[in-house]
Chain A
Amino acid sequence: MKKVALYLIVVAVAAACSSKEVREDAPVGDRSTAVPPTTAGGSSSTTRPTQSASLAPGNPLTDPNSALSKRSVYFDFDSNAVKDEFRGLVQAHTRYMTDKRDTNIRIEGNCDERGSREYNLALGQRRAEAVKKVMTVLGVSDGRIETTSYGEEKPAALGHDEASWAQNRRADIKYRGE
């Protein structure tokens, strides 16, 4: 067996080494601590109150005391089954949409990092479809719910262990305009 190592310094694009780029790099630790310490079975919210549309006072979608502020359904590995502990959350959004006929949502599915990127995109979408199905069975019309996926591209937690993976296997409910 032979091993040859060539140490090369590559001409990278200027952006690769500008100090501006360095500042834009969010340290991994910072991003991790910004995520609520949720577990697969937990009920913490991953709502990010960054959109002006949903910051209006008294908006039940963002009021932390409202069930509607909880937006994430978590899944087991390799599974798209909506677990019983998340039925209440999904039902609350179903009731809200039934009341507010002008609301539309997008359900975004996500996966943990394990596996092939494109297949994970499809798996995330299947998780989103599973949540959608609960809502359409309860009466929300199909046309009001778009399902998409970020696959493994938008992890909520950046670790490479089950604690992080459990937070990343999820479907997020987003109202149009958010």
Chain B
Amino acid sequence: MTKKDYHFGYYFFLITILVVGVLLIIRLSPEKNLQMLSLVGLSIIYALVGIIHHLLNHDLVGKIVVEYILVALLGIAAAFFIFRGGFGI
């Protein structure tokens, strides 16, 4: 497998997981508590998939782990902000 194939496979896998996750969460509507919990789960999966990808690619360093965790946390925090009603306006 070439490096190009490997990256294509990774992105195909990542996009599939996110699309399936988004569709499942939409289907849970209007159970917003469950939707929020599922979004947290999807964000954790995203961070794990990214970290494992770098691990397999032999370029994993602490900074990359922190970066994936922060981006996943940002997604959760943004959704949580809306879920809680935001500024109220």
Are A and B interaction partners? Answer: no
